[in-house]
Amino acid sequence: MSINYDGKVAIVTGAGGGLGRCHAIELAKRGAKVVVNDLGGSVDGTGAGSEAAQAVVAEIEAAGGAAIANGANVAKFEEVELMVKQAMDTWGRVDILVNNAGILRDKSFAKGTLEDYKLVLDVHLMGSVNCTKACWEIMREQAYGRIVVTTSSSGLYGNFGQTNYGSAKMGVIGMMNTLAQEGAKYNIKVNALAPTAGTRMTEGLIPEEAFQLLTPETVTPAVLFLVSEDAPTRTILGAGAGSFAVARIVESAGKWLPPEEQTPEGIAAHWDEITSTAGETQPQMGAEQTMKMVGLAMEGLGIKQD
């Protein structure tokens, strides 16, 4: 099966370098018309310039593809709206959105400032919200959309010195979980990429030998799959060094405690049963937790369930 994007229009944010550049180039190679968005700032989000995005556009065009550059700051909705308008004015549709733009302000929680915390959330989380919101009605009306948010192991599992980054990266998972439900009847699929790549955001954090294996080119195939016509939805796909894995949020089967044991001491006494991995499930919506808890209670109380 060959995957291509002929006739499709894609927006890739933070596409002036690293992962975003690779995503944009490979989408264009397979037929997509691409909006190459990049603010042109440094890793910490300071500064701006259009040279990086324009260079990627030139590279795509030299290979026979179609692309336009855009310098919108994804943290500013008004600029994002103009970016989407540019895509619509140029090509008349938006089929694919890859939320890739990001910055780092790494510091331990004790030393980091709230200003840095808010800035990281604004770019990673609100940037993804802004871009998705600006495309959402277009995708609904055309009954087609493929959206990728970029999460991270720092959000899924934690990483010292990245409380701000990890909070934002877990936030986009909550966004994905709900939008995948809301977009289903409009053929809008929403997925998350959890990349491990040797880019300017990870340089110096990873041993050189490993850094050389973690090329953006080994991650981008995951994005190409997640924005394809037959893509899954609501999937967290990890990628790095040519390896791919799916992360899942699971919940233990749970344990109902009788009223006299519904105490912190009761929880402690039954902790092994409560945390047992036997019977773990992967809920598909929040209400499933409520239904499970009520079901366990009714069973424990001997109340007949219809």
Distance, in Å, from the CA atom of 256 to the CA atom of 271, rounded to the nearest integer, reads 12
Give φ, ψ of 76 to 5 degrees: -115, 110
The residues facing 147 across adjacent strands are 97, 190
Residue 165 annotated among the catalytic residues of the structure: yes
Options 5, 144, 165, 186, the catalytic residue: 165
∠ CA(135), CA(136), CA(138), 5° rounding?
A: 70
Q: How many CB atoms lie within 10 A of CB 136?
A: 19
- The two structure tokens encoding residue 187: 């053929």
Closest CA to 128 of 92, 200, 178: 178
Distance, in Å, from the CA atom of 8 to the CA atom of 30, rounded to the nearest integer, reads 10
Active-site residues: which are they?
165
